[in-house]
């Protein structure tokens, strides 16, 4: 160690030599970690460098290199999210030029996985020099690509406005560096940056600009495919196909369903060409393209597309030995919807049952993410079972749905209250159908109690739901002989329905009394005005 200290002090004539020794040792420990993957080496590297992380002095190149190694450690061992968060924190302080440059180095490192996807251990060291240099010397086009990737990372952290601003800035800087006519590779890089900007614009509901930007992406990405004609590379073809898929989404956003259909069909055409020769690589993409196409087709054509989607999603690939259960469950749910719509209810039930079982597996692994998805799926399953007169099965499914929604509604910021209220309404109907009048009354009372605050906050949305639940409450009260209570509930229901029917007669029956009166065992002598 004394020899190491002497060499460092000789290279850098500073009094705070302990700092340089610690930083050098951090690099050595990190190097050992990269070879051994020993957690002790990683912890020791962190312990050595952390005290100097926020020191704002002009460091030597030795310190800069050591800190870059530390950043690589963050990226390697703690993930890009923390690296990015620390970088954004440093950027807020404009007082020190070196710290700003160091922050930009962090940002470059935080985007590496976009260019080099990791299927195992990712050795960041070969990328440090070129990536850091491209940021520090401010090469416009390279820096623009870093910023474009950064916007994705910022978006992942939930900072949508900053993500959009960063994407806009990346386009501006790239154009500054695009001198003269530019090369094809440069324009393909520009297409990637435009594509990212389009996504951010769509996230911000700026659909016209998102469409305009995506059109430019497609225009650029058609060039290499057209030049190569039959021998177009797979990479160029899939990039164009994905861009056409995105363009279809953007057309749909602005209400141009005809163009959405046309571009979706073209994306599928390219997807089929690629999947035919390389199914392991492109079946998943083809499934995505077909799924989008189904949204713009007739019910019959959409059904055929979704059958193919499900078939493709069932097939594992060489790189993906396990089937993507989440995507398969989504596709089965879509298939259920179209079968149900076309009256194929037995087939629809088969699809939905499989979707439910797949989502049960997902909930076991990631309950926070998939519990609400399973709850919605169970509601649909219950409706399908009831349509086939499987009342007990329908009751069992909706009961489970309520049990999943209840903790979500109790814990969340009112996001799932309406879902719970609707599920309780359906539960009450099924309990009544199965002869469980007391339980049915209890469930519909709870549904009303959830709908009341929702209707108070958003009457234009939830008054109709509260009215329907009150109408159902009246029925349940009447079933059990509580006729006076039933009348009061019915009056309140009608008082909510009346203004709705007046404002939107094409949606709501202007006079609900005949419909409501049919379900009561006693005459209504006085209706509310």
- Spatial distance between the Cα atoms of 366 and 86, rounded to a whole number of angstroms: 28
- Spatial distance between the Cα atoms of 261 and 251, rounded to a whole number of angstroms: 9
Q: How many residues does the chain have?
A: 529
The answer to whether 350 touches 388, Cβ cutoff 8 Å, is no
**pLDDT confidence tier of residue 524, bands split at 50, 70 and 90:** very low
Q: In the predicted model, is pLDDT for residue 24 greater than 80?
A: no
Q: From the CA atom positions of the chain, what is the Rg in Å?
A: 30
Instruction: Taking residues 497-520, report their average pLDDT.
Output: 57
- Spatial distance between the Cα atoms of 200 and 218, rounded to a whole number of angstroms: 17
The answer to whether 207 touches 214, Cβ cutoff 8 Å, is no
- SS3 percent helix, strand, coil of the chain, rounded to 5, is 80, 0, 20
- Mean pLDDT score of the chain, rounded to an integer? 76
Please indicate whether residue 149 or residue 258 has the higher confidence score (pLDDT): 258
Contacts of 279 (CB under 8 A, 6+ apart): 315, 317
The answer to whether 315 touches 283, Cβ cutoff 8 Å, is yes
* 3-state SS class at 119: coil
523 phi, psi to nearest 5 deg = -75, 150
* 3-state SS class at 38: coil
- Give the side-chain half-sphere CA count within 13 A for 22: 13
Please report the pLDDT score of residue 242 as a whole number: 97
- Spatial distance between the Cα atoms of 442 and 429, rounded to a whole number of angstroms: 11
Instruction: Taking residues 231-239, report their average pLDDT.
Output: 82
pLDDT in tens, 423-465: 999 999 999 999 999 999 999 999 999 999 999 998 888 888 8
- Spatial distance between the Cα atoms of 133 and 129, rounded to a whole number of angstroms: 6
Q: In the predicted model, is pLDDT for residue 509 greater than 60?
A: no
pLDDT in tens, 455-496: 999 888 888 889 999 999 999 999 999 999 999 999 998 888
Please report the pLDDT score of residue 332 as a whole number: 96
pLDDT in tens, 40-90: 766 676 676 666 554 444 444 444 444 544 544 444 444 445 555 554 454
- Spatial distance between the Cα atoms of 2 and 12, rounded to a whole number of angstroms: 15
- Spatial distance between the Cα atoms of 524 and 517, rounded to a whole number of angstroms: 7
Tokens representing 328 are: 């398969």
Please indicate whether residue 500 or residue 173 has the higher confidence score (pLDDT): 173
Q: In the predicted model, is pLDDT for residue 186 greater than 70?
A: yes
Residue where the block lists tokens 């450690």: 73
């Amino acid at each position: 160690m004394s020899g190491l200290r002497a060499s460092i002090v000789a290279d850098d004539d500073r009094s705070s030599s302990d700092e340089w020794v610690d930083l050098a040792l951090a690099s050595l420990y990190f190097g050992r970690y990269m070879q051994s993957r020993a957690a002790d080496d990683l912890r020791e590297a962190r312990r050595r460098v952390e005290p100097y992380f926020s020191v704002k002095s002009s460091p030597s190149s030795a310190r800069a290199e050591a800190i870059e190694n530390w950043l690589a450690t963050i990226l390697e061992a703690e993930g890009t999210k923390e690296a990015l968060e620390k970088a954004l924190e440093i950027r807020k302080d404009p007082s020190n030029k070196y710290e700003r440059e160091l922050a930009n180095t962090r940002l470059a490192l935080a985007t590496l996985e976009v260019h080099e996807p990791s299927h195992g251990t990712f050795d960041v060291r070969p990328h440090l020099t070129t990536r850091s240099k491209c940021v520090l010397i401010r090469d416009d086009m390279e820096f623009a690509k870093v910023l474009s990737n950064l916007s994705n990372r910022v978006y992942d952290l939930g900072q949508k406005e900053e993500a959009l601003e960063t994407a806009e800035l990346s386009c501006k800087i790239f154009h500054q560096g695009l001198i003269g006519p530019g090369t094809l590779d440069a324009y393909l890089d520009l297409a990637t940056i435009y594509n990212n900007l389009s996504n951010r614009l769509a996230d911000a509901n700026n659909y016209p600009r998102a469409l305009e930007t995506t059109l430019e992406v497609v225009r650029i990405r058609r060039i290499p495919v057209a030049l190569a004609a039959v021998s177009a590379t797979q990479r160029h073809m899939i990039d164009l196909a994905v861009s056409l898929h995105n363009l279809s989404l953007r057309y749909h956003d602005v209400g141009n369903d005809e163009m959405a259909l046309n571009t979706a069909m073209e994306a599928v055409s390219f997807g089929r060409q690629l999947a035919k020769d390389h199914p392991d690589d492109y079946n998943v993409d083809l499934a995505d393209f077909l799924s989008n196409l189904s949204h713009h087709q007739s019910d019959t054509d959409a059904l055929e597309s979704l059958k193919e989607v499900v078939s493709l999603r069932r097939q594992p690939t060489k790189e993906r030995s396990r089937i993507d259960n989440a995507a398969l469950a989504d596709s089965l749910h879509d298939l259920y919807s179209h079968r149900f719509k076309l009256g194929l209810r037995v087939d629809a039930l088969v699809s939905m049952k499989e979707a439910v079982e797949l989502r049960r597996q997902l909930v076991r692994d990631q309950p926070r993410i998939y519990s609400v998805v399973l709850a919605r799926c169970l509601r649909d399953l219950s409706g399908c079972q009831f349509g086939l007169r499987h009342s007990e099965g329908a009751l069992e499914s909706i009961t489970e749905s309520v049990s999943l929604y209840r903790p979500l509604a109790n814990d969340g910021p009112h996001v799932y209250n309406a879902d719970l209220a609707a599920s309780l309404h359906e539960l009450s109907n099924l309990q009544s159908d199965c002869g469980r009048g007391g339980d049915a009354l209890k469930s519909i009372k709870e549904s009303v109690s959830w709908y009341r605050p929702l209707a108070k906050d958003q009457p234009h949305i939830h008054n109709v739901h509260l009215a329907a639940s009150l109408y159902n409450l009246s029925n349940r009260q009447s079933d059990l002989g509580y006729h006076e209570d039933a009348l009061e509930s019915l009056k309140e229901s009608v008082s909510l329905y009346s203004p709705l029917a007046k404002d939107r007669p094409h949606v709501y029956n202007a006079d609900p009394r005949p419909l409501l009166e049919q379900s009561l065992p006693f005459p209504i002598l006085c209706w509310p005005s």
